[in-house]
Amino acid sequence: MPLLPPRQIQKWEQAGLHQGHDEPDESDSSTEAESSSPQLYHYLPDIKAISLEPPTSSIFCLPDKVLGLIFVNTLDPLVRQWYFAPAVDRPPMVLTHVCKWWRRVAISMPMLWSFNAYLGSVHSQIALYRLFLNRGRGMAPLIITFDGSYSTELDAAQDLFFSHIHLWADVKISLGPSICSKLAVLHPGDALLLKKVHIDSNNTRVAQSDVHQLITFLALSPNLSALSWDRDIPTMFYSVQWQNVTRFSTATRLHTGECWALLSCFTQIEEIIFSNYVCSPIRMYTRSILVDKTLRSLSIRGSNPVEFLDTVTLTCLNALRLSAPDDIYSIQRLVERSGCTLRHLIIEGVVDDDRDLLGFLRLECFDSIHSLRFTQPGDFNDKTAGLLTWHRSGDSPTKLFPLLSVLEFEECHTTDGVFSRMILSRWRGSESELKCVRLTKGCLRNKPVDEACLSSLITDDIQFVWKSAAW
């Protein structure tokens, strides 16, 4: 790619952007030298503030924002930079060594310099972190993972990112003594961009006083909306009013009473995930009902959830994720008591008995379901697909989920032809057509009838989304 004409370079120099104030000349093409130099490079003013002559090459005539979008959307593996620490051999670093024009456009775009910093290795490149932070101009929100299993080895990296706490947006923390003591002295106003925090589980001992200070900091953070807490939950946690958190998840073992307490302290909660619920029949909880008027999505996995479902009223609930409870009608009772309308259902495991399976799928509260997902590999089989198949002759007792538009499953354990027959029955001429089917790649392998059916429907108004097994 041609470089800028000499007259153009002279204009930059006259504007104060000569080599003494600018980034190094592109002749220094060593990205390693740039990242490891003790002198950290200053970012440039916005490129639009500089008077430029039209370059000779057509690509140089593109506005800087358009060229920036090309950087973001077409240069692989730029997309993956959100999941890895910055490196000298990946964008956006490589963009700064194409030519002077591309270098200035790349450096003028703070969004390119946002990155995911993983602070869990003694080999963290502090100079490279500092360079990215400088080029972000205090405008690029940060995604950071703090691994607390390290202590003094990472103090320098921790100090660097704590000095930029005003840019924290999404933080995952594996608590350790060093990181926990630093978090304990923070003030809510220090992290105004902080929206998402994940406290990871580990066996490292930390001072309870520091944990209490951390909880206070998080509860008072004005813009924190999503919180995951996978450590043991201290009693103090339940006594705090979490007024801003709308999404909470935990993998900690929780009994019915503890789930109640959490629902009560999150005053604006809309989505809650109990990944390790433990059924614990307690007489005091079966005598009363907890009413929550903000929760829209409930995920409860682990033990039989009947105890919990029978002791809550959730007036705004529209999404539910759970295993089929021992008492399948507890879901119907919850919906009728709450006066809510279910629209999204994720089934973690269906019942084995044919009669109970039919009774479960025929629950009246499921008639309003728009999206249905089976997560367990063996759940979508001939029996399940057969019950979901609509029969056009008369009023069939298995005409289930009349409003279903999205169907998703991990694996398809059906005989060849059963899946396609179910799809066609729900699509052709149905009152509410099936619009989208999400399935794992390869799940229809060696099923020629089903594959042929999918091929014929691809051009029609139905979408098949192929996902990876780990999605």
Cα separation, 81 vs 93, in Å, equals: 11
What's the pLDDT at 277?
94
What's the pLDDT at 51?
37
Residues 436, 429 contacting (CB under 8 angstroms):
no
Residues 150, 177 contacting (CB under 8 angstroms):
no
Closest to 116 (Cα-Cα) out of 164, 160, 82: 82
- Band (pLDDT 50/70/90 cuts) for residue 442 is confident
Cα separation, 385 vs 239, in Å, equals: 47
Rounded average pLDDT over 425-444: 76
Handedness of CA 262, 264, 267, 272 (dihedral sign): positive
Cα separation, 78 vs 88, in Å, equals: 12
Q: Between 143 and 369, name the one with better pLDDT.
A: 369
Rounded average pLDDT over 101-128: 76
The DSSP call for residue 266 is: B
Cα separation, 80 vs 77, in Å, equals: 5
Q: Which of 30-34, 67-71, 263-267, 394-398 has the highest mean pLDDT?
A: 263-267
Q: Which of 35-39, 138-142, 379-383 has the highest mean pLDDT?
A: 379-383
Taking 60 as the threshold, does the pLDDT of residue 238 lie above it? yes
Backbone dihedral region of 46: left (phi > 0), alpha (psi from -120 to 50 degrees) or beta? beta
Q: Which of 122-131, 172-181, 195-204, 317-326 has the highest mean pLDDT?
A: 317-326
The DSSP call for residue 430 is: -
What's the pLDDT at 345?
97
What's the pLDDT at 281?
66
Taking 50 as the threshold, does the pLDDT of residue 46 lie above it? no
Rounded average pLDDT over 36-43: 33
Q: Which of 141-145, 153-157, 203-207, 239-243 has the lowest mean pLDDT?
A: 153-157
Q: Which of 233-242, 283-292, 352-361, 453-462 has the highest mean pLDDT?
A: 233-242
Host H or E run for residue 329: helix 329-338
Closest to 191 (Cα-Cα) out of 215, 161, 221: 221
- Band (pLDDT 50/70/90 cuts) for residue 351 is low
Handedness of CA 60, 64, 65, 69 (dihedral sign): positive
Cross-strand pairs, 266: 242
Taking 80 as the threshold, does the pLDDT of residue 160 lie above it? yes
**Letter for the amino acid at 10?**
Q
What's the pLDDT at 162?
92
Closest to 110 (Cα-Cα) out of 134, 76, 79: 134
Cα separation, 206 vs 216, in Å, equals: 16
What's the pLDDT at 376?
82
Q: Between 86 and 277, name the one with better pLDDT.
A: 277
Cα separation, 5 vs 226, in Å, equals: 51
**Letter for the amino acid at 374?**
F
Q: Between 146 and 238, name the one with better pLDDT.
A: 238
What tens digit of pLDDT does each residue of 400-429 get?
898 999 999 888 889 999 999 998 888 765
Taking 60 as the threshold, does the pLDDT of residue 86 lie above it? yes
What tens digit of pLDDT does each residue of 290-342 get?
899 999 999 999 888 999 999 999 999 999 999 888 899 999 999 999 999 99
- Band (pLDDT 50/70/90 cuts) for residue 151 is low
Q: CB neighbours of 327 closer than 8 A, spacing ≥ 6? A: 306
What's the pLDDT at 149?
63
Burial class (CB in 10 A: 0-12, 13-18, 19+), 161: buried
CA 467 to chain centre: 16
Cα separation, 100 vs 106, in Å, equals: 10
- How many Cβ atoms sit within 10 Å of the Cβ of residue 332? 15
Taking 80 as the threshold, does the pLDDT of residue 450 lie above it? yes
Taking 60 as the threshold, does the pLDDT of residue 12 lie above it? no
Cross-strand pairs, 160: none
**Mean pLDDT over all residues of the chain?**
78
- Band (pLDDT 50/70/90 cuts) for residue 279 is confident
Q: Are strands 271-277 and 247-250 parallel, antiparallel or unpaired?
A: parallel
What's the pLDDT at 84?
58
SS3 of 281-323: the string is CCHHHHCCCEEECCCCEEEEEECCCHHHHCCEEECCCCEEEEC
- How many Cβ atoms sit within 10 Å of the Cβ of residue 199? 22
Taking 60 as the threshold, does the pLDDT of residue 110 lie above it? yes
Rounded average pLDDT over 220-247: 95
Taking 60 as the threshold, does the pLDDT of residue 27 lie above it? no
Backbone dihedral region of 205: left (phi > 0), alpha (psi from -120 to 50 degrees) or beta? beta
Taking 70 as the threshold, does the pLDDT of residue 47 lie above it? no
Q: Tokens standing for 124?
A: 């963290």
Taking 70 as the threshold, does the pLDDT of residue 43 lie above it? no
Cα separation, 329 vs 245, in Å, equals: 31
Residues 40, 134 contacting (CB under 8 angstroms):
yes
Q: Tokens standing for 274?
A: 């109990």
Taking 80 as the threshold, does the pLDDT of residue 346 lie above it? yes
Residues 206, 175 contacting (CB under 8 angstroms):
yes
Q: Between 420 and 85, name the one with better pLDDT.
A: 420
b/e per residue, 237-263, with b = 16+ CB within 10 A?
beeeebebbbbbbbbeebbbebbbbbb
Taking 50 as the threshold, does the pLDDT of residue 24 lie above it? no
Taking 50 as the threshold, does the pLDDT of residue 52 lie above it? no
Residues 360, 351 contacting (CB under 8 angstroms):
yes
Cross-strand pairs, 407: 372, 437
